[in-house]
């Protein structure tokens, strides 16, 4: 891991541990709630791994805090406006050829909105498993060409094209062209944490 990734991994690990301990959950309990291994929880809390976006989503959903809360500094109650300066977002995905998925901003629970800045180099593809029920995604291609797979359907997009689709089915973003593609992505995940609160967890 480079220094930036290591710093982010340590910050995520501290937040996961703090949230788990605030609930008096054991490692096994969080592993069961999130559907990931106990070993992965230990590695995440120690900052020893750079977890996938899917793993981070599972953890944030299980903890009922939303993905932005895992990677952004804790909000102060009086902070109604938050500025994220250029280059200061959390790079949560890196492609084999240099592509990046950067979470640049997000809102708090229960209805979480994430704003992403994505770049896919030629030949790169990012597959995403289905998010929680009711999740919606909106994206717009800013540069290059993009292929979006939603369930069994494929959608080819060019610069300026936009797409809205359900994020609660398996989906993927791919660059099959010969130049980089950049797109802005918004993810709306309603009711984060309400399942656990209703269950009395």
Q: For every one of its 201 residues, what pLDDT tens digit does the chain have, with 9 covering 90 and above?
A: 678 888 889 989 999 999 999 999 999 999 999 999 999 999 999 999 888 898 998 999 899 888 888 887 665 545 678 888 898 889 999 999 999 999 999 988 889 999 999 999 999 999 999 998 999 999 999 999 999 999 999 999 999 999 999 999 999 999 999 999 999 999 999 988 765 433 333
Structural domain ending residue among the three candidates 29, 45, 75: 75
- Considering the domain architecture, whether residues 71 and 103 belong to the same structural domain is answered as no
Output the domain CATH number for residue 160: 2.60.120.10
Domain-ending residue, one of 75, 99, 127: 75
Residues 140 and 163 in one domain: yes
C-alpha radius of gyration, the chain, whole number: 17
Q: Tally the residues of the chain.
A: 201
Domain match, 97 and 71 both: no
Q: DSSP readout, 53-88?
A: HHHHHHHHHHHTS-HHHHHSPPPPTT-------TT-
Report yes or no on 60 lying in a domain.
yes
Kind plus residue range of the DSSP H or E element containing 163: strand 162-166
- Examine the fold and report which residue of 75, 101, 119 is the final residue of a domain before the chain moves on: 75
Tally of CB atoms within 10 A around 195: 15
Regarding whether 111 and 51 lie in a shared domain, the answer is no
The pLDDT assigned to 1 comes to 67
pLDDT of residue 191: 87
Largest CA distance in the chain: 51
Instruction: Note whether 73 and 79 are within 8 A (CB).
Output: no
Q: How many helices (H) and strands (E) in the chain?
A: 6, 10
Provide the domain limits for residue 60: 3-75
Q: Is residue 85 part of a domain?
A: no
195 belongs to a structural domain: no
- Residue 198 has a pLDDT of 39
* pLDDT value, residue 79: 65
On whether the pTM is more than 0.85, the answer is no
Q: Where are the beta strands (DSSP E) in 70-135?
A: 90-94, 100-106, 112-120, 125-128
Residues 7 and 54 occupy one common structural domain: yes
| Within a domain: 55 | yes
pLDDT number for residue 146: 98
CATH number at residue 9: 1.10.260.40
Question: Are both 168 and 129 inside the same structural domain?
Answer: yes
**Structural domains in the chain (count):** 2
Reference 187, options 146, 138, 145, 134; nearest CA is 138
């Amino acid at each position: 891991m480079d220094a930036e990734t290591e710093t982010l991994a340590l910050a995520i690990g501290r937040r996961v541990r703090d949230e788990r301990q605030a609930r008096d959950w054991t490692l096994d309990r969080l592993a069961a709630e999130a559907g990931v291994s106990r070993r992965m929880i230990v590695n995440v809390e120690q900052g020893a791994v750079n977890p996938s976006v899917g793993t981070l989503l599972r953890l944030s959903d299980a903890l009922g805090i939303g993905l932005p809360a895992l990677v952004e500094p804790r909000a102060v109650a009086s902070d109604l406006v938050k500025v994220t300066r250029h280059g200061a977002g959390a790079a949560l995905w890196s492609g084999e050829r240099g592509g990046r998925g950067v979470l640049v901003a997000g809102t708090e629970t229960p209805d979480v909105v994430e704003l992403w800045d994505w770049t896919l180099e030629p030949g790169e593809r990012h597959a995403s498993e289905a998010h929680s029920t009711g999740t919606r995604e909106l994206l717009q291609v800013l540069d290059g060409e993009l292929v979006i797979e939603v369930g069994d359907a494929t959608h080819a997009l060019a610069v300026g094209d936009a797409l809205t689709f359900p994020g609660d089915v398996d989906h993927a973003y791919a660059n099959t062209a010969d130049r980089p593609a950049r797109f802005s992505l918004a993810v709306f995940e309603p009711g984060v944490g309400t399942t656990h609160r209703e269950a009395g967890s």
